[in-house]
Amino acid sequence: MVTAVAQRLLSQRKQVDDTLAHFSLNRDQLRVVRDKMRVELERGLRKDSHSSASVKMLPAFVFQTPDGTERGKYLALDLGGTNFRVLVVKIRSGIRKSVRMYNKIYAIPHEIMQGTGEELFDHIVHCISDFLDYMGMKNTRLPLGFTFSFPCRQTGIDKGSLVSWTKGFKATDCEDHDVVDMLRDAIKRRNEFDLDIVAVVNDTVGTMMTCAYEDSKCEIGLIAGTGSNVCYMEDMRNIETVEGDEGQMCVNTEWGGFGENGCIEDIRTKFDREVDEGSLNSGKQRFEKMTSGMYLGEIVRQILIDLTKRGLLFRGRITEPLKTRGIFETKFLSQIERFISTYTLIIALMHLQSLGSTCDDSIIVKEVCGAVSHRAAQLCGAGMAAIVEKIRENRGLEHLEITVGVDGTLYKLHPHFSRVLKDTVRDLAPKCTVSFVLSEDGSGKGAALITAVARRYCGQHRLSRPLLQPPFDYTLLEIMSRFRRELEKGLSQDTNPTATVKMLPTFVRSIPDGTEKGDFIALDLGGSNFRILRVKVSHEKKQTVQMETEIYDTPEDIIHGSGTRLFDHVAECLGDFMEKHKIKDKKLPVGFTFSFPCAQTKLDEGILLTWTKRFKASGVEGMDVVKLLNKAIKKRGVRFTDIMAVVNDTVGTMMTCGFDDHRCEVGIIIGTGTNACYMEEMRHIELVEGDEGRMCINTEWGAFGDDGMLEDIRTDFDRDIDRGSLNPGKQLFEKMVSGMYMGELVRLILVKMAREGLLFEGRITPELLTKGKFETKHISAIEKSKEGLSKAKEILARLGVEPSADDCIAVQHVCAIVSFRSASLVAATLAAILTRLKDNKHVPRLKTTVGIDGSLYKMHPQCVWCLMGGVVAVAFAGISLIYSSLPVCLLGTLGVCTKPFAGWYQNAMSASFSRKVAAAKGLPW
């Protein structure tokens, strides 16, 4: 016989159980959550569905996790969690690798969180000011990383506009504004100190970076704190909202928004809806409101009210505190659940809240807390399972081992949250082994690490990023994919007219096979020297090559005068050469290396499209240079066979190299100008009829960027150079890369630094102000490892300044930055050509050789250009497919090709494909 009391207790129990049953999710339900999360992740990444996706998948513009070489002193701000902190982070690399932090926590009063944007940012700057005073650092302009733990739409590492406030913030006039700009403006308003804001970072990203600093397997960051969110490293090719396909980028998922489109209504309870309705952002962040610290206590309070109303708790009495929003803090949840059997503690807690409760009540309250936090951990686990499964599939792996860096008060303080989270992930993603590593204070440290990575290539403190912006590694991958698209644009008939990279067919259809022989003359016009050569190659017994060469002057008044005069001068030099070498009566074939962009319809015709570099003779653009030269030669009465071929210097270089190495199918010039050619499939060259075989394309990559495509990386110095050049608005890539402009670039930087008092004690001499006084060859001399600094002293002395030892180091540094940028840019465009070649051939592994020539390449200390090989390798690092194949051989190739492929030799080859004349191995250099 059941007594009435027992029956009442049973019914009470059942009602409580029924209420809490809504919070218990079985395996199938969790699987459904996982799968729906996966769908939303994909929708957020895709261009067509991104705007309507509830999981926003915001690109974070972080491309690499740290590699341990980061160092320096940084300021970091951490806004958006339980505390607002200002920190100084000191990072050391090498054997003393360590991260040290000093921080101060500041309160953000409620009225400021929900006041105006200006007040909020003024308050932040006020706290920074206090901190700098406290640390005695007001006068050092430190680089700053800003952890801003709200959804930001980023367009670069230091640009991010707030999508919408979440959690407890609601300051006006901030949404859709750039938070870095707002911070900068507030710093200006205060006008007390200056900071170099380098990066804006979500807390998940900071957490991932901090953990990755110790554990290279860490590619996910999780925050389970006031808010709930995850970031991870995604393949660029999957992030359709950002240009570029190569490598990886961190994506801030903002998974807190999951469910905003109604897809998890089946598991939301009426309590979740009540919490949502009472929040600052009703309808938003539905997943966050079921999983994060800011809301769990509130859910518990709503349940307690409901149970009390139904007479199941607190003797049916709803007290004032119980009616107060926010009174039941998430930390109580942690505390209540931690003390499994100490009901007294529970009672104490309840009394503390003046809720007035009994021991039975305490059991129920504990069960309510348990149900709410258990569900939160399970939901996070289901979401995490979707993420790790996605990464596993991205990589085509049977099994994935990965580390998650975690931070947040809920994860750290709650007794069961982390265990349930891990169990759920294990259950729902059985093909992944996921380790969770606590990354305490992750976001502050992480912001500093990201700042360090972003600044790594940006040079010393003296030179505050004038050249490499935005961050280096991003730029290269981005440049590489932009250039790849330009190549395609130039090849297609429809888009060629508007393409900047002209992709000129050269009518060279094969690489020499080494059997060529003969006797001929080569002209080489367009590089730093005008040369004429006679080349004799024979195959009797041993292959021999005889070569005679003369260099002729091309005075400025001739290259800037009339076209007729220019070609008369060339013909005159040819006459002189033939006389000197006693070949006046021989009708030798002539090859013409003409290093300017020419439209060709056959081998022996070349219509000059536009002069580049130093040349500007009138009446030549739009004309066939072969005809002009023929005419001039005939006028002089020189006897010769007609010009056999006109070729670009890049093509000559490729052919020369190809003669020795059959794998060579790319030629590049890094000299006065810069350019590349490569062997393209005929079927892709829409401008020439026929689909069979291959043809060499002269890309004329110097013009890359002439449509504004490189504006984001061009600096004011580049713009100055362009304005003062013979062809403003044209050859913008060339002007950032090649020998004709590099010296000037360095000079302009030195002038600016001197003006700012950073060099030569602020003294500027007339020589320093004279265009052309600092030459590219000076860069090469100054960068030499041994005598570089004394050279710097000598060269600067000639410019009238008396450099200190520090000045010389700084100037050497400027030179290194300018040449490193040049090498890196070439690496990026070259990488685009190589990936195209690889795709054309449908091979998993491309083995190829690149022929290189040019005065800059030859004279400059080699290490930079070897670096170029390294940079190409970096560019490929993200593409796992190619990573194992290309860089090694490419590096090798670039190493091998350090031998100069002298210009005169390449001329020999310029005619070889038509006449099958020879050039040879074992030449005297």
Distance of CA 443 to CAs 153, 184, 250, 414, 776, Å?
A: 18, 21, 15, 20, 44
44, 80, 518, 851: which one contacts ligand GLC (CB under 6 A)?
Answer: 80
For residue 613, state whether it binds ligand GLC (rule: CB under 6 A). Answer: yes
d(CA 456, CA 244) in angstroms, rounded, equals 22
Catalytic residue among 161, 595, 725, 910: 595
Token pair belonging to 208 = 């991932």
Number of residues that bind ligand BG6 (CB under 6 A): 19
Distance of CA 33 to CAs 30, 265, 422, Å?
A: 5, 11, 16
Exposure of 553 by Cβ count < 10 A (0-12 exposed, 13-18 middle, 19+ buried)?
Answer: exposed
Dihedral over Cα of 284, 287, 290, 295: its sign: negative
> Min. distance of Cβ 442 from ligand GLC in angstroms?
11
Over the window 57 to 96, marking each residue x when it contacts ligand BG6 by CB under 6 A and - when it does not, the resulting string is ---------------------x-xxx--------------
> Min. distance of Cβ 496 from ligand GLC in angstroms?
17
Asked if 519 is an active-site residue, the reply is no
The strand pairing partners of 178, in sequence order, are 161
d(CA 636, CA 638) in angstroms, rounded, equals 6
Over the window 544 to 563, marking each residue x when it contacts ligand BG6 by CB under 6 A and - when it does not, the resulting string is --------------------
For residue 228, state whether it binds ligand BG6 (rule: CB under 6 A). Answer: no
For residue 160, state whether it binds ligand GLC (rule: CB under 6 A). Answer: no
Which range of residues in 221-229, 486-494, 587-595, 670-678 is near ligand BG6 by CB under 6 A?
221-229
Over the window 95 to 134, marking each residue x when it contacts ligand GLC by CB under 6 A and - when it does not, the resulting string is ----------------------------------------
d(CA 865, CA 551) in angstroms, rounded, equals 27
Per partner kind, with CB cut-offs from 5 to 8 A, the member of ligand GLC, ligand BG6, none near residue 166 is ligand GLC
For residue 443, state whether it binds ligand BG6 (rule: CB under 6 A). Answer: yes
Dihedral over Cα of 88, 89, 90, 96: its sign: positive
First to last CA, the chain: 111
Asked if 649 is an active-site residue, the reply is yes
For residue 486, state whether it binds ligand GLC (rule: CB under 6 A). Answer: no
The residue type of 79 is L
Name residue, tokens 């590619």: 219
Q: Residue 412: how many CB atoms within 10 A of its CB?
A: 15
Q: Which is nearer to ligand GLC, 337 or 734 (CB)?
A: 734
Asked if 719 is an active-site residue, the reply is no
59, 66, 221, 293: which one contacts ligand BG6 (CB under 6 A)?
Answer: 293
Catalytic residue among 392, 456, 482, 531: 531
Exposure of 351 by Cβ count < 10 A (0-12 exposed, 13-18 middle, 19+ buried)?
Answer: exposed
Peptide bond into 470 cis (omega under 30): yes
Per partner kind, with CB cut-offs from 5 to 8 A, the member of ligand BG6, ligand GLC, none near residue 675 is ligand GLC
Catalytic residue among 158, 441, 473, 649: 649
For residue 649, state whether it binds ligand GLC (rule: CB under 6 A). Answer: yes
Token pair belonging to 515 = 């059997």
For residue 166, state whether it binds ligand GLC (rule: CB under 6 A). Answer: yes
203, 288, 389, 744: which one contacts ligand BG6 (CB under 6 A)?
Answer: 203
Which range of residues in 67-75, 589-597, 876-884, 892-900 is near ligand GLC by CB under 6 A?
589-597
Per partner kind, with CB cut-offs from 5 to 8 A, the member of ligand GLC, ligand BG6, none near residue 293 is ligand BG6
Dihedral over Cα of 276, 280, 286, 290: its sign: negative
Number of residues that bind ligand GLC (CB under 6 A): 37
For residue 149, state whether it binds ligand BG6 (rule: CB under 6 A). Answer: yes
> Min. distance of Cβ 504 from ligand GLC in angstroms?
9
For residue 247, state whether it binds ligand GLC (rule: CB under 6 A). Answer: no
Per partner kind, with CB cut-offs from 5 to 8 A, the member of ligand GLC, ligand BG6, none near residue 887 is none
For residue 223, state whether it binds ligand BG6 (rule: CB under 6 A). Answer: yes
Distance of CA 652 to CAs 607, 750, 811, 901, Å?
A: 18, 37, 36, 10
Q: Which of 898, 845, 837, 836 is nearest to 867 (CA)?
A: 898
For residue 441, state whether it binds ligand BG6 (rule: CB under 6 A). Answer: yes
> Min. distance of Cβ 649 from ligand BG6 in angstroms?
55
Q: What is the DSSP string of 620-637?
A: -TTSBHHHHHHHHHHHHT
For residue 405, state whether it binds ligand BG6 (rule: CB under 6 A). Answer: no
> Min. distance of Cβ 106 from ligand BG6 in angstroms?
13
CA torsion 645-646-651-655 (nearest 10°) is 20
Q: For residue 72, report the phi and psi dihedrals to the nearest 5 degrees.
A: 125, 180
40, 203, 276, 783: which one contacts ligand GLC (CB under 6 A)?
Answer: 203
d(CA 116, CA 289) in angstroms, rounded, equals 25
Distance of CA 721 to CAs 346, 578, 726, Å?
A: 74, 40, 10
Per partner kind, with CB cut-offs from 5 to 8 A, the member of ligand GLC, ligand BG6, none near residue 441 is ligand BG6
Residues with Cβ within 8 Å of 266's Cβ and at least 6 positions away in sequence, in order, are: none
Q: Write out 646-662 in H/E/C secondary structure.
A: EECHHHHHHHHHHHHCC
For residue 254, state whether it binds ligand BG6 (rule: CB under 6 A). Answer: no
673, 705, 739, 878: which one contacts ligand GLC (CB under 6 A)?
Answer: 673
Which range of residues in 43-51, 483-491, 642-650, 863-871 is near ligand GLC by CB under 6 A?
642-650
Q: Which chain residues interact with ligand BG6 by CB under 6 A?
A: 78, 80-82, 147, 149, 203, 223, 225-227, 293, 407-409, 441-444
Q: Which chain residues interact with ligand GLC by CB under 6 A?
A: 80-81, 149-151, 166-167, 202-204, 223, 225-229, 254, 256, 288, 526-527, 595-597, 612-613, 648-650, 669, 671, 673-675, 700, 702, 734
Tell me the catalytic residues.
531, 595, 649
